[in-house]
Structure 1
Amino acid sequence: MSGESPAPHTLLPTSIVGSLPKPSWLAQPEVLWSPWKLHGDALVEGKQDALRIAVEEQSRRGIDIVGDGEQTRQHFVTTFVEHLSGVDFEQRKTVRIRDRYDASVPTVIGSVSREQPVFVDDAKFLRASTDRPIKWALPGPMTMVDTLYDAHYRSREKLAWEFATILNEEAKELEAAGVDIIQFDEPSFNVFFDEVHDWGVAALERAAEGLRAETAVHICYGYGIKANTDWKATLGSQWRQYEESFPLLQQSSIDIVSLECHHSHVPMDLIELVRGKKVMLGAIDVASETIETPEEVADTLRKALRFVDADKLVPSTNCGMAPFPRDVALGKLSALSAGTKIIREELAVAEP
């Protein structure tokens, strides 16, 4: 069981899930996973400049738990994978990602291993850039498996356990670098329910094993891209996918469960299934450029507080915001903070 991190004393500490838009001089704006515009030393410096900006904007707009905005990463999975041995990025295959869309992906050709740290230097830079608690996101084992073609293990479960061990190595070094919360992104948990039950949660716990930092799992319905919005349109009036994973996560060693909520069809009472865990609640829609009003955010949080105690609620975004224009993403950060402030004031008044 992971221990307590030096969590913020602020009630309802706000956070982002992951990505923020990159500056136009670093990568093409409003495009997911766009190539870098810089190279060599200029790219290293540019990434650090972008990370510094992301920290500053989060701090200015009242975000309490600061992330890197994924400014040093092109893709939330493959940027980690490309640093591993046993994966060939020249041998590419087309696979079905999360049973929704086809993508050209690298191939696992041998035993996977991590020869050196992947994100640790970036995390140290983030730690040196702010006094606030910091959170770092890693891909979860099941989602990593689903973003590759496996020509070696020929078993999603075996490959997931290998990745879990590698992720655990990285997570321990991130913790040593001063990261307070380590988040594992597992959107695959909303799709492959049999695997979630059989080995998905166990592999996730292996990735988080022995950590003193707080651990989080982020499970969403994806970025606001067409493949995801088309899929959502097939899910009906109630999205009950969390019903599969939440009871297992409630019994797991993971400290925080992050879910998509605002403008989704997720029944709010499903949060009850992770009673006792911290809940990182998505109160900002990442599939619409319309900036929420503070009262809209507050209303989402109010509804959630019927099912989670205030000292365990972390207001957040539904998912990453990389595809947005920067002014939209920053406006949404301000709305998240302003809406959270409304609820903090209501809770303060309600105290005896």
Structure 2
Amino acid sequence: MALTHNLGFPRIGARRELKQALEAYWRADISDEKLNATAAELRQRHWTLQRDLGIDLIPAGDFALYDQMLNMTALLGAVPARFNAQQDEIGLELYFAMARGTATQPAMEMTKWFDTNYHYIVPEFDADTRFRVASPQLFKEVAEAQALGISPKAVLIGPLTYLYLGKESTPGFSRLDLLPQLLPVYRDILGQLASLGVEWVQIDEPLLALDLGEEWLRGLDQAYTALAEPRLTKLLLTTYFEAVDKHANRLKELPVDGLHIDLCRAPDQLETFLDHYPVGKVLSLGIVDGRNIWRSDLARSFSMLSRVQAILGERLWIAPSCSLQHCPVDLELETRLDGEIKNWLAFAVQKLHEVSALGRGVTHGESAISEILSASTEASRVRAQSERIHNPVVQERLRSLTRKENERASPFPVRQSRQRQRFKLPLLPTTTIGSFPQTAEIRQARAAFKKGELGNLQYLQAMRDEIALAIRKQEEIGLDVLVHGEAERNDMVEYFGEQLWGYVFTENGWVQSYGSRCVKPPILYGDIYRPEPMTVDWIQYAQSLTPRPVKGMLTGPVTMLMWSFVRDDQPRADTALQLALAIRDEVADLERAGIGIIQIDEPAFREGLPLKKPDWDEYLQWAVRAFRVASSSVRDDTQIHTHMCYSEFHDILPAIAEMDADVITIETSRSRMELLNAFGQFKYPNEIGPGVYDIHSPRIPRTEEILELLEKACKVIDPSQLWVNPDCGLKTRGWVETEAALQRMVEAARLLRTLNLPKISVN
């Protein structure tokens, strides 16, 4: 027998029920009770579904109203002192205050979860941080599952990963110093789970996929030795996203009852773990890809599992590679998806079908799943031979690329001079990142157009009206460089993918990005080709309404790649260059249409960085090349912007400089300009716009706060290089708060221009 289990299920609901409930709660349209009831209903639905699919061990504790790291902060009572929490038990008000901010306190920082497009809330630590069991939510969820007749596996983020992914809020202090006082609280949690009858706890330590210093590895030994004395529950130490075979001997010796490894990202690590694997310890193999949507090659997986089962027997467990929160929920909801391509895919429900089938095959023999294996093999054959995947025109253009396509005509100082002559912008020019509020009216018009209820001309006029509104409001606010507002765009990747050959789209393929924010990644299945311009008419129309410059807004090739479900049958570098060529053509058309400032957003640039440092150079070379191919065809007086956000860029600044964008805008508000210090120390050569307020919080900053941040920025970056902007797009905000915040931002920039800036500029 081989036991099957799941590491985590998408929490948002097949039709984004959690998103809808959260946003209704934040609008005060529903009560705490209603929100909690919706969440409980989703959990019960997901547990029942997994049980019915034949999964033997089902997780509890993988659900979160906002974020799993924030759940751990609440469970561990690690509320930053600035929130002035007085209550013994952390409730919804404080939970969401940490995530979204309050009238007096900004939200906790948010950044990417390893190399995914999921964002987590970053814990804040200082020497006074204290831990205690402060939320009963995990234990309530275990009891809910048990009431359904399910004996769940509880899920926790491990103590090392929790500390590692946090940050110190005071200098001269190491968060690892908190481990001795954190471990007794983990033991309390394990004790409470044991008292509820929980046998297995999945304790996630994905930090093991990173390059760790010896102090963190010693902390690992310390932590799991402490948690095993005495043994309260069985622990499955869970790793994913990369190989951990470098630590194989250490992990085998830890006093845990099982290990989980990711064989989709790192198949070669299996042999290292099988070598002298400890007797009596479970080995869980992540054999079904939890990060992408392609159907598994079940015959190959079954062959490998059969060999391992002969070695391990009942100690073999079968699972997805990681939590399925990174996948859409159910392929069966896709009633309009092309039938041939649909047969190549598997969403979360289908992936659990695959896990269950592999478990049955290993337990009962190949004959028990022969039809399933045959169908999987046939789907793989058809996909590999499909003529829809390859485009000779694209492949020939890729082969003919030369170094010339990678480079601007002149170095930045020459370009900067010509751009300043052309645009004549003031010191500290103000702009936004691109999008403006996606109102209910915009969404309704787009939905009616897609359903055929709104004609082409009616839709065109509706979007033009929204663009005109955005231009008028920006002029009234006093912004220097405008945007068209992106009313016509559903998503910054999906919008472009819909107009490129080589993509297909889903109706309900939603995944969570953060909180209630869900995205519907397009599926990149074949060679990418741009048949016609994608944005020119919209931007040209916006520019016709104002004498001020309007930015052309594009999504960069690396972000198009990272925020899609990407084909796995060719190197990602090749796919990125195909995307770069399509964007290059769009840039050229925008320039020909008279657009002088073009923004090519790359918020996923850091996200694509491999988790292991030895693999960085190869990625950075092709990622930088892709951006430069996309952006380098323009004249010197055409200004190229890019935008990056919610990632740590300190260690890749040379590569960001190599991208050679004339202006980069970055997210810095939640960290109060901390990231900008790195750009200043690096002496970043081009212009930069540090985000001066957090658009992911409904909080409207005071003018004085923005001015303080800008003054801080002027101390590390020459004011002549600085732009003033929010930290990200504004599509998730309402117009009232957007206008108020931007008015204060413009006011702060104008006030700063009146100061004697050389006195506060960098020496």
Could you state the TM-score of these two structures normalised by the residue count of structure 2?
0.40
- What secondary structure is seen at the aligned counterpart in 2 of 1:184? strand
Q: How far, CA to CA, are the matches of 1:49 and 1:154 in structure 2?
A: 43
> Hey, what does 1:204 align to over in structure 2?
627
1:230-309 aligned at under 5 Å gives the runs 241-264=648-671, 266-272=674-680, 273-309=682-718
> Hey, what does 2:432 align to over in structure 1?
16
- What secondary structure is seen at the aligned counterpart in 2 of 1:314? coil
| Farther off after superposition, 266-275 or 121-130 | 266-275
Q: How far, CA to CA, are the matches of 1:158 and 1:338 in structure 2?
A: 46
Contact 1:92 1:107 in 2 (8 A): no
> Hey, what does 2:599 align to over in structure 1?
183
Q: 2:552 aligns with which of 101, 112, 136?
A: 136
Contact 1:139 1:184 in 2 (8 A): yes
Q: How far, CA to CA, are the matches of 1:141 and 1:189 in structure 2?
A: 9
Q: How far, CA to CA, are the matches of 1:307 and 1:267 in structure 2?
A: 11
Pairwise CA distance, 1:106: 3.0
| Match status 1:147 vs 2:563 | yes
Pairwise CA distance, 1:37: 4.5
Contact 2:693 2:726 in 1 (8 A): yes
Contact 2:662 2:687 in 1 (8 A): yes
- What secondary structure is seen at the aligned counterpart in 1 of 2:756? helix
Pairwise CA distance, 1:151: 3.4
> Hey, what does 1:320 align to over in structure 2?
729
Q: Please give the per-residue CA displacement for 1:174-212, whole angstroms capped at 9, x wherever unaligned.
A: 112222221111111232223652311111111101212
Contact 1:23 1:50 in 2 (8 A): no
Contact 1:107 1:150 in 2 (8 A): yes
Pairwise CA distance, 1:77: 1.2
- What secondary structure is seen at the aligned counterpart in 2 of 1:167? helix
- What amino acid maps onto 1:290 in structure 2? R
Distance 1:36 1:54, change over 3 A: farther
Pairwise CA distance, 1:54: 0.4
- What secondary structure is seen at the aligned counterpart in 2 of 1:105? coil
Distance 1:158 1:93, change over 3 A: farther
1:1-352 aligned at under 5 Å gives the runs 1=408, 3=415, 4-5=418-419, 6-27=422-443, 35-38=446-449, 39-40=454-455, 41-89=457-505, 104-151=520-567, 153-193=569-609, 194=616, 197-212=620-635, 213-221=638-646, 241-264=648-671, 266-272=674-680, 273-347=682-756
Q: Which has the higher contact order (CA 8 A, sep 6+)?
A: 1
Contact 2:649 2:675 in 1 (8 A): no
Q: How far, CA to CA, are the matches of 1:282 and 1:69 in structure 2?
A: 18
- What amino acid maps onto 1:256 in structure 2? V
Distance 1:269 1:165, change over 3 A: same
Q: How far, CA to CA, are the matches of 1:177 and 1:202 in structure 2?
A: 25
Q: Please give the per-residue CA displacement for 1:220-275, whole angstroms capped at 9, x wherever unaligned.
A: 01xxxxxxxxxxxxxxxxx7x11133222223432111111112263431122252
Pairwise CA distance, 1:102: 8.4
User: How many residues are aligned here?
Assistant: 326
- What amino acid maps onto 2:663 in structure 1? I
Q: Please give the per-residue CA displacement for 1:263-297, whole angstroms capped at 9, x wherever unaligned.
A: 22634311222522100221121121111111111
- What secondary structure is seen at the aligned counterpart in 1 of 2:590? helix
Could you state the TM-score of these two structures normalised by the residue count of structure 1?
0.85
Contact 2:696 2:732 in 1 (8 A): no
- What secondary structure is seen at the aligned counterpart in 2 of 1:342? helix
Contact 2:425 2:480 in 1 (8 A): no
Distance 1:90 1:288, change over 3 A: closer
Q: How far, CA to CA, are the matches of 1:53 and 1:91 in structure 2?
A: 29
Q: How far, CA to CA, are the matches of 1:251 and 1:201 in structure 2?
A: 7
- What amino acid maps onto 1:248 in structure 2? A
- What secondary structure is seen at the aligned counterpart in 1 of 2:440? coil
Pairwise CA distance, 1:163: 0.4
> Hey, what does 1:230 align to over in structure 2?
none
Q: How far, CA to CA, are the matches of 2:551 and 2:520 in structure 1?
A: 30
Contact 1:263 1:285 in 2 (8 A): yes
Q: How far, CA to CA, are the matches of 1:102 and 1:335 in structure 2?
A: 29
| The structure with more helix, counted as a fraction of residues | 2
Contact 1:92 1:106 in 2 (8 A): no
Pairwise CA distance, 1:25: 2.2
- What amino acid maps onto 2:554 in structure 1? L
Quote the sequence identity (%): 25
Q: How far, CA to CA, are the matches of 1:83 and 1:127 in structure 2?
A: 22
Q: Please give the per-residue CA displacement for 1:122-165, whole angstroms capped at 9, x wherever unaligned.
A: 11101101111221221111110122223375322111000001
- What amino acid maps onto 1:294 in structure 2? T
Higher Rg: 2
Distance 1:94 1:57, change over 3 A: closer
Structure 1 residue runs without a partner (length 5+): 29-33, 222-238
Pairwise CA distance, 1:350: 6.1
| Farther off after superposition, 160-169 or 212-221 | 212-221
Structure 2 residue runs without a partner (length 5+): 1-407, 410-414, 610-615
| The structure with more strand, counted as a fraction of residues | 1
